[in-house]
Each structure stands twice: as structure tokens, then as C-alpha cells.
A and B are shown apart, each in its own frame.
Chain A
Amino acid sequence: MGAHPTAAAPPRPSSLLGGPAGVITVGILLAIAVLLPVLNLAVPPSSALHVPTWALALVGKYLCYALLALSIDLIWGYCGILSLGHGAFFALGGYAMGMHLMREIGPRGVYKNPELPDFMVFLNWQELPWYWHGFDSFAFACLMVVLVPGLLAFVFGWFAFRSRVTGVYLSIISQAMTFAFMLAFFRNDMGFGGNNGLTDFKDVLGFDLQADTTRAALLALSALAVAAAFVVCRFIVTSRLGKVLIAVRDAESRVRFLGYPVASYKLFVFTVSGVMAGIAGALYVPQVGIINPSEFAPANSIEIVIWVAVGGRGTLYGAILGAFAVNYAKSFLTGAIPELWLFALGALFIGVTLFLPKGICGSLPRLRGRRRPPPETTAVARGPLADVPGAQP
């Protein structure tokens, strides 16, 4: 793994984005952010170029998934941490945003209670639980969207990485974590709406959530968030810190023996990833209009991983592509032939791991034309070593 020529030099924009593929990715995301809202709002419905509102909602949802996939790719593709519990961070971010949206409903709920959300009135609660205080402020909710998943990721990672829980052990306990959250949020006593979760949102910051303009704005915001996250991830993985992360992925003990505090590196990237997942959840909730405990289901978290695997781990733009491709296939199949979807998803898991270990983006020949692929892609090409037990203590 030779030093990349640009690693030491101040990064030029195109190298920060990772060459043409990165430029194209960011370009497409920006185009989505600008074009889709324009085509929806400014072009009359009779025109062939008009984008219907349901398509906005769908693309907006996919963008949130793409952000979630990026957060997985950052830790799995570049640091070898396979988290099967990232749905928990996503859902916690979603719940934080959902709590704000619940507070914004105010007295317009079914029970017309200005203080309590409907489900609390239904459960005969007399006053707002302490942890709901502050969520009437949008700024506070946004802070919590970042803080809660970030803190959880930090605490979980601190425990796990400090005691060198790696490989499948980490995968399993992260899965147990999200499972525990799911059980907890299903309880009515938790004060998060139990089974039904939080729903019936009316508006955000005074804008009607059902209005086309609000949907378009949320879509644009999501696209910009994915683009920004892509740039941040690129920045992290091309920095010196990123080099250490890749080294940890490929040979953790050697990096430790070289004197690097492996746990701190992992903890940093895991926390960043958790925060990204939380933001994805916060963007997701206003667009789909509901958040409930099934988002914590372990199966959901594993599905995120397959998006990344399909797109190609360790490429970042592959994660975005994978999230779109798999979720489009899911929307299509569950609509057309529902019983086929699980077969297709299962076959995807098996097929990708057996025949396409580098994913679509890793396997497409010479995507970048004459440019030499950056080192992290070559490292992925070495594939198996990344997970050989011998490479990990």
C-alpha cells in the first residue's frame, strides 16, 4: 500500500472527492437537490417532465438510506467494523426528530391536548415526562439528533473497542444492542408511543409536511446532506487518520504494535458514523411521516449492510449507489411480486458475498478511465485479507 501522491500535499478538490467517480456522485446529488424540486414545483403536471410528488417522497427516502449506507461504509469499508446495529442510531435520530414533530402538533391532535401528545392522553398520563422537555424547540431537537446517537455510539464503542471486541463478536453485540432498544421502545411505559411509535405529524417549523414545497425542500436538504456527508467521509478517509483506519482494517495487531492507539481511532470513526446515521434518521422521519420501534429490528440493520456490499464497500459512492439500487428493487418487487422479495434479498446476500465481493463499484472495470485507482480501492481488491482472523487479534 504505497503512499498516495496527494496524501501529503494539500488536497485538490477533485482528489478530495476521489476522482471522476466522486465528482460525478456529488454532481448527481446536487442535481437531484436542484432539479427534482424544480421539475415538481415549476413544471405543470401535464408536462412529460413533471416529477410527481410521490416520486419526491421516494427519492427523499432513498437519500436518507444512502446517508445511512455511507455511515456503514465509513466503518465497515474503511475500518473493518461490521456493525449490525446501526439501525439503532438511525432510529434514535428519527425519534429525536419525531419528538419535536409531535410537540409541534400542539392542540391539533385528536384529543386537543395542548401539552401532551395523543398517545400520552390515551395512556392517561398527566404530564410530559422529563425527557420530553426541550423538544418543543427545533434547535434543541437538532442537537439531540446529533448528541443522542453520537453519545450512544461513543459509549458502546468505548466499551467495545477498549476491550478489543472485534469481528463477529462486535457484530453480534451490536445486534443485541439494537434488539434491546427495539424491546424497550415497544413498551408503552417508555413514553415513546410504544407499538405505534410517533406519527400524525402536521408540520415542521410551520411548514405543512404534506405540502409539495415542504417535501421538495426536505428532498433538497437530504440530497445536500448526503453530498456533505460524502465530502466529510472522503476527507476523513484521505487524511492521515484515514490511512491509519485502513491499516487497522487490514492488520489491526500490527498497527497496535506500531504504537497507534487503535481503540481511539476506531472510537472516533464509529462515533462519526453513529452521528451520520442519526442525521439520516432525522431527515427520514418528516419525509415518511412515522417512526416506530420496528426501525430498531435487527433485520433492518443487516439490510443496510447489504446495500453497502452490493454497491461496493470501501468506495463511499458505492454505498450510495447500493442504497438506491437495492431499495429501488425492494420498492418495485414488494409492489409487483411481494412473495419474491425475500427470495431476491436472500439471493442478493449470497450472490454478492460469493460472486461480487467488491460490489458493483469495485467490480466495474476501469470506471475511472486512465486514472490510477486510489489506494483504498486496491486494498479492497485484496479483499479476503481484510477479514482473515490472523489479521485481527
Chain B
Amino acid sequence: MFKRAIRAGSMALVTVLWVLAALAAARPAAAADLAASLDQLARGDFAAKGAAVEAIAGSGHERAEAILQALIDGQLAQVPATGQLVITAASGSVLRLIDPISGAGVSEAERGAVAPITINNRLRAAIRGALGSLTLLSADADRRRAAADAVFRARDGAVVPILETAIARETSDRVRARLERALSALRAVNPALPAADRIRAIERLAASPDQEVGSLLAGVVAGEADAAVRAAAEEALKRVEARLALWGAVGGLFQGLSLGSVLLLAAVGLAITFGVMGVINMAHGEIMMLGAYTTFVIQEWIRTNAPHLFDYSLAFAIPTAFVVAGGVGILIERGVIRFLYGRPLETLLATWGVSLILQQTVRTIFGPNNREVGNPSWMSGAIEVVGGLTLTYNRIWIIVFSLIVFALLMVLIARSSFGLQMRAVTQNRRMAASMGIRTGYVDALTFGLGSGIAGIAGVALSQIDNVSPNLGQSYIIDSFMVVVFGGVGNLWGTLVGAFSLGIVNKVLEPYAGAVLGKILVLVAIILFIQKRPRGLFALKGRAVEN
């Protein structure tokens, strides 16, 4: 509602601006010219249509944008009987016909009673470029920016005057940079300009390298007749590609860190339960799923009862998810696992059964489809570090969050008396028991802690992944791999394991593809286990041997 009002407002402003611009240019907004161009659109071949599009875009008429938009949407049509051009709009079962020049409704017609004006791909590109140039003077900075990029892509020399006007008027530095980039692109590919100007434009382009600049320069290198320009483009392309490769690597590293932080959150709880109890909890993924669904429920509650608190929803979700998941974990431990100590393979099967039940329960309650969990405003959006490298806030926050969780956990284990007891049980259960530690109690709490962390991991996952009953399944094997790779009973191993697997996965991705990269990592881990059956950071000593 609000958005629509803004859009309507900005449209009105654009119209006003256009009228002003048209007046300022002292160009008569000749409806007659426009009618002639429309006529050309209706009758001419594609070349004539191209000229007409250019003429309409350059006419400065207030309806130019609407006409071009209708043309590209296939809504500009001709009434066969009269030859009149109309813009069609679906209204119920019939089409409402609108006069393109006045914008007023004319009449109605059956579907199929009018013949849409056909366009081809070349024309479509030209129209996009023209539309881009028309919005270059929009009041909305985002639209101007988008228009500048559209012009950059269309590379239609006819918009240069408008572009120059736009640059002169531009108030925002960021938008001006985009506009200048578009102008440089147009200059760089314009064979009519002197070589020196074009080389300067190429230099300017190379100063803000990104993927599109790269492909533009590559096009110049391939198809340029002027040797000096080609040489400049070649040299610039080399620099651009080097920068892009560097940023690609940095981006990959960031992606890897992000994946690693997710794996860390998912695996650290598993590592604790596995380390202390020697129990592989196959329901771990489903406990993460519970955390994600807890976030969903809390957000829904906040949406209906206290929408102003939405940005703080995660602050409520994290402790709740910890309690819910931890509670379920303790229930599982007391209800199932307790009876299976000393039989790890049976525990594995029983917890698999628990995972199936949890999955189906959630599916029954919440349905099988993805549930939408929103990002709070401080987590949505992205930061553009440089031209080719954007980092999304939610991933940055999750990296930070995973490290905080890890640090808290380390402190808990190293400094608290519960941590001391946990370590004692991990290292030598019998000895710990004979020292008076209630190992059963430690087991239950440890399992609760591990599950609670899984719940928190679920909260984080809900911010970047689909919340569905299958959420847990997709992470469980990866988490196992992290634990097995990192080594049992040592959380540093889990940290190193998670981040190295995440980074290796993402670094391999561009070369091998996502799936093959993952397969390679799995195979590498299987082979690694042969070399070090107890993982990267294995516990040493006699206690390990039993």
C-alpha cells in the first residue's frame, strides 16, 4: 500500500520533471511527431520500428515511457479495422483499449480482436536502452541507478545527450559514478570519436572494474579496428581481469567462511555429544530444524502481536530455541539413549528413528512446504566492498555469531565446573565416575547442551536457508564429516574442520562445480580418515584405546 503510494508519487514527479525538461529544452512536445512515430511502428519493418523507438524516446513526450513499456510488454496493439494503435490492458475477460498519446480509455475489445505489434530481440534491447534513458532523470535515485546500468548494457549512442544532462544534474555521488560508467562505456565503443577520447574512456572504465566492464572490454578487443584503441582495451582488460580474479578469490573465501560458520554451528553440538558420550546423534539435524521452526513461530507471534519488535525477534528466538532444542535433547537422552550406553551402533539407529519422528511431526504440524522466516532489517541487504564484491549482512552476522557461540562454549568448558566434569568424562569415564562425578547427570546435561546449540544453529540457518522439514537432512552428513575430520573430544578440531571444509568446498566450486566439488571433498575426507582414523586433533593416550 505504502510502496504503491511512493511509486505513484515518484511517477507523478517523473512526469512533472519531464514536462519541465521538455520545456527547458524548448522542444515542442509535438503530439504530431509522436503520432508519426507510432504510425511507423504500426506499419514499418523492424528497421523502421527501431527508428521509431528512437524517435519516441527522443521526443520528450510525457507518454513516451508508457508507450515503450507497452511495446516491450506486448501490450501495444493495432485495431485491424481502423489501423489505430492502442495500448491494451486486461480487464476481466475483455481488453480495455487506451489511446497511446492521450492515455485515455477508448473502448473495449475481445481478446484476440487486436493484433499486437511484433518486436524482435534486437528491438527489445533497443527499447530497454531507451527506457533506461527515459528513467535517467527519475527522482528516485535507485531508479536512476538502474537506468544508468540499463544504458550501460544497451550501449545505444543516442542517449548520450540525456546521459550528459543527467550527470550534470546528479546529486548522489554513487549514482553519478554509475552514470559516468555508462557514459564511458558509450564513448569507448563509439567508433566516431577520436581514438584519444576513446582510450581515456577505456582507462576510466578500467578504474572501476567489474564483470560487465570485463565483457565490454573483451568485446572491444575482439571487434575493434583501431589498433591503438584495441591495445589500450587489451591492456585494460588484463588489469580488470586480474582485479576480478582477486575479488573472486576474496568472494570465494568469504563464501567459504560463511559455509564454515554454518558448519561450525551445526557440528559443534554434535562434537560435544560425540566426544563425551561416543554417541552419534542422527537426530541432530532435526533438532536444528526445531530451532529454525522456533524462530518461525516466534516471528509469527511478533508479526501479529507486536510488529514493532520484529527487529528484535532473533533476540527472543535464540534463548527460546536453546531451551526448546535443549529440552527435546534431554528428553531424547533420558527416554532413549540412556538405555543404550555402550552400544553406539544401536544408539545411532535409535536416534535415526527419533529423527524420522521429529521430521514427520513437524511436517504434520507445519506442513511440508517451506516456511518464510524474515531477516530483521539489520541483517538484510548487502555491503558493497568494491565494484565486484558484495557481502550480504546475514552471512557476515552468522560468521560473527558462530564465533561468539564457539567462544562462549570454550569458556564454559574451560572455566565452569560443569565443563570440568564434562572433560573428565570425555577423557576417562570410569575414572571420572570413581572420582564422584555423576556421569549419567553429566551425559544428560551434555546432551542438552549439544542439542541447545543445535537449536541456536537452527536460528542462524533460518536466516539463510529454507525452513522446511528437510532442513536437518541436508546438514547432517556435512556435520558428521566436520566432526570426524576435526577429531573427537577437541573443539578446536571442530573449528578448524568446519572452516577448512567450508573454504575448500567454496574454493573448489568455481573449478569443479558445486556438486563435483562436494564429491571431491567427501572422497578426500574418506581417504583422510584412512590416514588418521581419529581425525585431525585426536585425543591421545590410553583412554582413547577403549
Contact = CB atoms under 8 A, between A and B. Distances in A.
Interface of A: 82, 156, 159-160, 162-165, 167-169, 171-173, 175-177, 179-180, 183-184, 186-187, 298-299, 302, 305-306, 309, 339, 342-343, 345-354, 357, 383-384, 387-390, 393
12 contacts: A82-B345, A177-B526, A302-B352, A309-B349, A342-B356, A342-B363, A343-B356, A346-B355, A351-B353, A353-B353, A354-B339, A357-B346
A350 B484 contact: no
A178 to B, nearest CB: 10
B522 interface: yes
Interface of B: 278, 280, 336, 339-340, 342-350, 352-357, 359-361, 363-364, 473, 477, 480-481, 484, 515-516, 518-519, 522-523, 525-527, 529-531, 533, 545-546
Given A82-B348, A342-B360, A180 B522 contact: yes
Contact of A350 (B278, B350, B359, B523): B350
B345 A164 contact: no
A156 B345 CA distance: 20
Contacts of A173: 484, 525-526, 529
Contacts of A162: 530
Given A82-B345, A346-B353, A169 B529 contact: yes
B330 to A, nearest CB: 16
A225 B350 CA distance: 31
Given A159-B530, A387-B343, A343 B545 contact: no
A388 B545 contact: no
A186 B340 contact: no
Given A165-B533, A302-B352, A387-B346, A346 B360 contact: yes
A299 B474 CA distance: 12
B278 A389 contact: yes
Contact of B360 (A172, A299, A339, A388): A339
Given A169-B529, A387-B346, A354 B336 contact: yes
Contacts of A343: 356-357, 360-361
Given A177-B526, A342-B359, A346-B356, A388 B533 contact: no
Chain B CB count within 10 A is highest, among A171, A187, A353, A393, for A353
Contacts of A389: 278, 342, 344, 546
Contacts of B531: 163
B426 to A, nearest CB: 13
A168 B519 CA distance: 21
A357 B525 CA distance: 32
B115 to A, nearest CB: 36
B8 to A, nearest CB: 46
A159 B357 contact: no
Contacts of B353: 345-351, 353
B515 A183 contact: yes
Given A184-B519, A387-B344, A159 B527 contact: yes
A388 B339 contact: no
A161 to B, nearest CB: 10
B488 to A, nearest CB: 9
A384 to B, nearest CB: 5
A85 B353 CA distance: 17
Contacts of B515: 183-184, 186-187
A347 to B, nearest CB: 7
Nearest to B353: A349
B533 A168 contact: no
A4 to B, nearest CB: 26
B349 A176 contact: no
B346 to A, nearest CB: 4
Smallest CB-CB A-B distances: 8 pairs: A349-B353, A346-B356, A346-B357, A342-B360, A180-B522, A350-B353, A346-B353, A353-B350
A172 B345 CA distance: 11
A82 B349 CA distance: 10
Nearest to A309: B349
A353 to B, nearest CB: 4
A242 B463 CA distance: 53
B526 A176 contact: yes
B388 to A, nearest CB: 29
- Interface on chain B toward A: helix, strand, loop, or mixed SS? helix
A165 B344 contact: no
A175 B477 contact: yes
Given A173-B484, A342-B359, A163 B349 contact: no
Given A346-B356, A350-B357, A353-B340, 15 more contacts: A163-B529, A163-B530, A163-B533, A168-B278, A168-B344, A169-B529, A172-B484, A183-B522, A342-B356, A343-B357, A346-B354, A346-B355, A353-B347, A354-B336, A354-B340
Contacts of A177: 522, 526
B352 A349 contact: yes
Contacts of A298: 477
Contact of B529 (A165, A187, A302, A345): A165
B116 to A, nearest CB: 33
Contacts of B356: 342-343, 345-346, 349
Contacts of B355: 346
Contacts of B280: 168, 171-172
Contact of B533 (A169, A179, A342, A349): A169
Nearest to A350: B353
A353 B346 contact: yes
A208 to B, nearest CB: 37
A165 B10 CA distance: 67
A250 to B, nearest CB: 13
A177 B453 CA distance: 27
A123 B401 CA distance: 44
B530 A175 contact: no
Contacts of B345: 82, 167-168, 171, 387
Contacts of A82: 345, 348
Contacts of A388: 342-343
A347 B357 contact: yes
Contacts of B336: 350, 354
B344 A349 contact: no
B339 A176 contact: no
A156 to B, nearest CB: 8
Contacts of B477: 175-176, 179, 298
Contacts of A164: 533
A349 B349 contact: yes
B530 A350 contact: no
A161 B299 CA distance: 50
A173 B522 CA distance: 9
Chain B CB count within 10 A is highest, among A177, A187, A306, A350, for A350
A183 B530 contact: no
Nearest to B335: A350
A319 to B, nearest CB: 15
B525 A176 contact: yes
Given A342-B357, A350-B354, A169 B530 contact: no
Contacts of B348: 82, 168, 171
B429 to A, nearest CB: 10
A305 B353 CA distance: 12
Contact of B349 (A184, A186, A302): A302
A171 B476 CA distance: 14
A82 B350 CA distance: 14
Contact of A187 (B347, B516, B545): B516
Nearest to B344: A168
A96 to B, nearest CB: 20
Chain A CB count within 10 A is highest, among B356, B522, B545, for B356
A159 B526 contact: yes
A78 to B, nearest CB: 14
A179 B350 CA distance: 21
Chain A CB count within 10 A is highest, among B353, B484, B546, for B353
Nearest to B429: A389
B342 A393 contact: no
Contacts of A352: 349
A165 B519 CA distance: 21
Contacts of A357: 346
A350 to B, nearest CB: 4
